[in-house]
Amino acid sequence: MGATPDIPAPPGTAPAAEEATAASAPLLSLRHVARTVPIGEGKLLTILSDINLDVRSGEHIGIVGRSGTGKSTLLNILGLLDLPTAGEMDFNGEPVQSIPRNRAAKTRGRDIGFVFQQFNLLPGRTAVENVEAPLMYGTGSEFRNRRRIAAEMLGRLGLGDRIDAKPNRLSGGEQQRVAIARALVRRPKLVLADEPTGALDVETGKTVMGLLDGITRESGAALITITHDLSIANMASRRYALHRGELQAIRDDATAQALSGAPAAGGAR
């Protein structure tokens, strides 16, 4: 089971782009990845098992899963915040197990952007200060030019006139756009969106997802959306369901109802 390169393209995905992404080397590659945690008396709890997934630049991948299916753990591993206990995982061609912790943190800051359900904007800081925050961990040039870079990014997300507004003065949609700007401000290669629309109404959620999808596609970054909402996952070019720690491709005709009971297994690799 795992990723299938022959997943049907979602509506609106250009075949040329698909071919290009399929031809390039994967940005992220997971082979038989598993994660277990000890629970005492020598026993192990398996959270993730035999995860296989290749992610290429420019791809949008949706992962659907209910609570307790291992979404957080998968997010931790994909975001270089945690290591698998079995299997192999490469990020940008390098085995993650061989990356020291400090370098992993730097790689994460440079190459991975996070978008969270609760926006997680830094309280008390203005929109532009929030977007500047990742640049504090960047290069000297990024640090010096942080205000200009952050303001430009907010402008791209349509918030050019809200840069000095604090989070409590922004609507949910605006806050999530600030969070997206923050995730993208260092031009990451991979964007991990953890329930990005979970705190938004349906309309705003779709708008925000459209924006996130468009802007990551434009920048050539890969986007992995982890969600419980099938309609959000359906915006991705490839879709998977996470069920009891296993990742399975979702067929085009799968319904939310079907997914809530058991995985709608598709062409698993």
Partner 1 sequence: MISAFLASIVEAWQELRVHKVRVLMSLIGVGVAVCGLTLVVGFGNMMQKGLVDDFERSGGRDSTYMFSVVSPSGETSAADAEKISDAIEQAQSRFDIDYVSATGQSELRLQSPTGSIDATLTIVDADYEVMHRVRVEHGRWFTAADAENMAPAIVADQVFLDQYGLDAGALPATVDLPGHQAGVATVIGSVASPSYAEMGTFYALSAQAEKFGPTVSRPTEFEMWLPPDVAQQLSKQVTSDLKRQLPGYTIDSYRSDFAEDAAGALGPVQNVLLAISILILFMGMLGLINISMVTIQQRIREIGIRRSFGATSRRIFFSVMMESVVATTVAGAIGVLIAVLVLKAPIVGQVLFDGMVTPQVPFSAVIVGMLVSIGIGALAGLVPALVAMRVRIIDAIRA
Summarize as ranges the residues that interact with partner 1 (CB under 8 A): 72, 75-76, 79, 81-82, 101-102, 105-110, 114, 116, 120, 122-125, 129, 133-134, 136-137, 139-140, 143-144, 194
Whichever of 146 and 238 has its CB closer to partner 1, that residue is 146
Which residues in 30-47 are b (16+ Cβ under 10 Å) and which e?
A: beebbbbeeeeeeeeebb
Shortest Å, Cβ 73 to partner 1: 8
Shortest Å, Cβ 9 to partner 1: 31
First to last CA, the chain: 5
Instruction: Reduce the DSSP state of residue 161 to 3 states and report it.
Output: coil
Shortest Å, Cβ 269 to partner 1: 27
- Both tokens of 87, joined, read 């299997």
Whichever of 190 and 249 has its CB closer to partner 1, that residue is 190
Q: Are 108 and 82 in contact (CB under 8 A)?
A: no
Shortest Å, Cβ 252 to partner 1: 31
Please, which residues bridge with residue 43 across strands? 40
- Cα gap 124→133, rounded to integer Å: 13
Whichever of 1 and 64 has its CB closer to partner 1, that residue is 64
Whichever of 126 and 237 has its CB closer to partner 1, that residue is 126
Shortest Å, Cβ 139 to partner 1: 7
Q: CB-side exposure of 22: number of CA atoms within 13 Å?
A: 16
Whichever of 7 and 131 has its CB closer to partner 1, that residue is 131
Backbone angles phi and psi of 53, in degrees to 5: -160, 130
Torsion of CA 246, 252, 257, 258, to 10 degrees: -50
Shortest Å, Cβ 2 to partner 1: 22
Please, which residues bridge with residue 86 across strands? 34
Whichever of 3 and 191 has its CB closer to partner 1, that residue is 191
Q: What is the 3-state secondary structure (H, E, C) of 87-99?
A: EEEEECCEEHHHC
Shortest Å, Cβ 101 to partner 1: 8
- Cα gap 31→54, rounded to integer Å: 8
Whichever of 55 and 74 has its CB closer to partner 1, that residue is 74
